[in-house]
Structure 1
Amino acid sequence: MSNPSPLVSIIIPCYNQAEYLEETVLSALASDYSPLEIIIINDGSTDGSEEIAKNLTSKHELVSYIHQKNQGVEIARNTGIKAASGTYILPLDGDDLIATNYISEAVKVLENNPQVKVVYCEAMKFGPKGKKYWKLKPFDINALARDNMIFVSALYRRKDWEKIGGYAEDYNLGRADWEFWINMLKDGGEVVQLPFIGFYYRLTGGINSLRKRTGSDEAKRKRIAYLNAKYPEFFERELNGPLRFQRTWSKPYNTLLKFFGKL
């Protein structure tokens, strides 16, 4: 008798995404993988998100709903994962979409390869101006020290989320997925990118797209300072010193400073 398939928990934080939430949830429900649970976390929305979420829970037994005051997407994700029962976690923002085979193919990799911590796929950006292939850089731990190449909607084990203490709730500087992947992968673990488009990242041009953008130089400096303070050993190992504002030049600059005894 074969072992039952592991439960996958899809965690959907939602902030004023009423226009897209149902489409996002339906794309998750259309997955060819089972068993699934889908948890919507309403992060204090002021639009019709709550009504739509409650309607979805009444129609679909796989969908559940949590409301919290507005605290940010990192806390919303943690809230959802704490309430989840799945072996594997898939975060999915309240306006993005997944392909039907994404979860099933990712779970196969995770089940067959204990050394793999993260599985993602190829991706497409879409919005009012059409679709565009999202060309992601190949994963490399040294490259991760300089920039992120894994979008937030990758699958991973709940136990790995627990080990690192979840998403950093004091990190509201943008690009939280980058910080999360550094934390999860800094001490090892393989990453696999599936060779097909399984994730669709929506560009709306509204407030939620603004929340996804990198932001100003000031925000970038704060983000780099946060990462350097939290992961000094990681950056020392990968970049021979701290992450710099000109991230691509971090390692050669640090190496030069050390050569002249300035670092």
Structure 2
Amino acid sequence: MIYSKVSIIIACYNDAHYIEQSVNSALNQTYPNIEIIVVDDGSNAETKAVLKKIEPQITKLLTQENQGQSIARNNGIRFAKGDYILNLDSDDFFEPSFCEKAVKKFQEDDKIKIVTCHANRFNEKGTVDVFVPNGGDLNNFLFGNSSLGSCMFKMLDWEGTGGYEEKLPILGFEDWEFYIQILKSGGYAYVINEILFNYRLREGSTTSRIRHERLDKFKLIIKKHRDLYVSNFDLLLEDLFNRIKREEFEKNKNTDRLEFRIGKAVLKPLRYIKSLFK
């Protein structure tokens, strides 16, 4: 039996403590035809030492100056020889059967463009929760990412879209924008109904750092895909107003709290006294 090759791309930046676990999860895949390409995105000396140690176990180690995740991923994929690409962040890891099950789904339905799964989200204390992405077609991705950032897709689709966005400052949203690119031509994202991915929650991670920039980055995606959002203008309008309503609800909830009212009452006379000296 001939097995299509899967290229596992691991972009690494200063992850000395976790990169080995990530690489081992790639090495331990039950699927028989894989290659592993690690891209060192300008890591520190400690991480480089770990990468040098594990280099004999992987297919290719690429080194570049720090240029960000999108460029690191694209550079890794350019060296790939697989029919399928699996992106894996260097602090996360897959269960051994993911590649085998993902490739099988691709072969069962040629309309599938992305294969993802349920994710165990954990920190140093253990499991926090289980995240279940929605999957689905383009409509499911217009206003939010319905897949994990680490998932499998076809090399042909990466080539057809030009890869991950490298110029727009959408750090943290590059996966979502890439999936929009893939699904614009049709097809859908399939979600394997199993926990096959482990996502590490870390303080100071990209996800936590960009939380306050979400709307600005979403605006850049809308501008890049202007025609797509114009054709779905009513849905866009509804989504934006729902975001405003949620923000107002959270704001009102905080101002109604007893602590806020007490604090306001205490500060009022102090502010009055302060105003007398202006």
Same fold (TM over 0.5): yes
- Kindly indicate whether residue 218 of structure 2 is the aligned counterpart of residue 224 of structure 1: yes
- Kindly indicate whether residue 231 of structure 2 is the aligned counterpart of residue 233 of structure 1: no
- Kindly indicate whether residue 141 of structure 2 is the aligned counterpart of residue 144 of structure 1: yes
Question: How many Å separate the matches in 1 of 2:160 and 2:237?
Answer: 24
What does residue range 21-60 of structure 1 map to in structure 2 within 5 Å? 21-58=19-56, 60=57
Question: How many Å separate the matches in 2 of 1:97 and 1:235?
Answer: 34
What stretches of structure 1 of length at least 5 have no aligned partner?
A: 251-263
Write out the 4+ residue segments of structure 1 that deviate beyond 4 Å after TM superposition.
241-245, 247-250
What does residue range 1-263 of structure 1 map to in structure 2 within 5 Å? 2=1, 4-58=2-56, 60=57, 62-131=58-127, 132-173=129-170, 174-205=172-203, 207=204, 209=205, 211-213=206-208, 215-217=210-212, 219-240=213-234, 242=236, 246=240, 248=242
Question: How many Å separate the matches in 1 of 2:241 and 2:100?
Answer: 36
For 1:122-147, what per-residue CA distance to the aligned partner results, in whole angstroms no more than 9, with x for missing partners? 11101113112113335353231111
For 1:143-163, what per-residue CA distance to the aligned partner results, in whole angstroms no more than 9, with x for missing partners? 311111211111110010000
Once the two structures are TM-superposed, the CA of residue 115 in structure 1 deviates from its matched residue by 1.5
Corresponding position of 2:267 = none
Once the two structures are TM-superposed, the CA of residue 63 in structure 1 deviates from its matched residue by 3.2
How many residues align? The count is 242
Question: How many Å separate the matches in 2 of 1:57 and 1:119?
Answer: 28
Which moved further from structure 2: 94-103 or 196-205?
Answer: 196-205
Question: How many Å separate the matches in 1 of 2:108 and 2:241?
Answer: 35
- 2:159 is aligned with what amino acid? E
Question: How many Å separate the matches in 1 of 2:227 and 2:122?
Answer: 38
- 1:18 is aligned with what amino acid? A
1:175 and 1:214 in contact (8 A); partners too: no
Question: How many Å separate the matches in 2 of 1:212 and 1:167?
Answer: 17
Question: How many Å separate the matches in 1 of 2:238 and 2:182?
Answer: 21
1:44 and 1:68 in contact (8 A); partners too: yes
Question: How many Å separate the matches in 2 of 1:128 and 1:172?
Answer: 30
What stretches of structure 2 of length at least 5 have no aligned partner?
A: 245-278
Question: How many Å separate the matches in 1 of 2:149 and 2:135?
Answer: 15
Identity %: 33
Cα 1:117–1:243 change in 2 (3 A) is: farther
Three-state SS of the structure 1 residue aligned to 2:103 is helix
Once the two structures are TM-superposed, the CA of residue 50 in structure 1 deviates from its matched residue by 1.6
Cα 1:32–1:212 change in 2 (3 A) is: same
TM-score w.r.t. structure 1 length? 0.85
Question: How many Å separate the matches in 1 of 2:241 and 2:11?
Answer: 30
Three-state SS of the structure 2 residue aligned to 1:18 is coil
Once the two structures are TM-superposed, the CA of residue 214 in structure 1 deviates from its matched residue by 6.5
2:106 and 2:112 in contact (8 A); partners too: yes
Once the two structures are TM-superposed, the CA of residue 75 in structure 1 deviates from its matched residue by 0.3
For 1:169-216, what per-residue CA distance to the aligned partner results, in whole angstroms no more than 9, with x for missing partners? 0133222111111111122112211111111101122x4x2x123725
- 2:93 is aligned with what amino acid? L
Higher-Rg member (1/2): 2
1:40 and 1:64 in contact (8 A); partners too: yes
Superposed CA RMSD: 2.0
1:11 and 1:81 in contact (8 A); partners too: yes
For 1:36-65, what per-residue CA distance to the aligned partner results, in whole angstroms no more than 9, with x for missing partners? 11111010012422221121122x2x4320
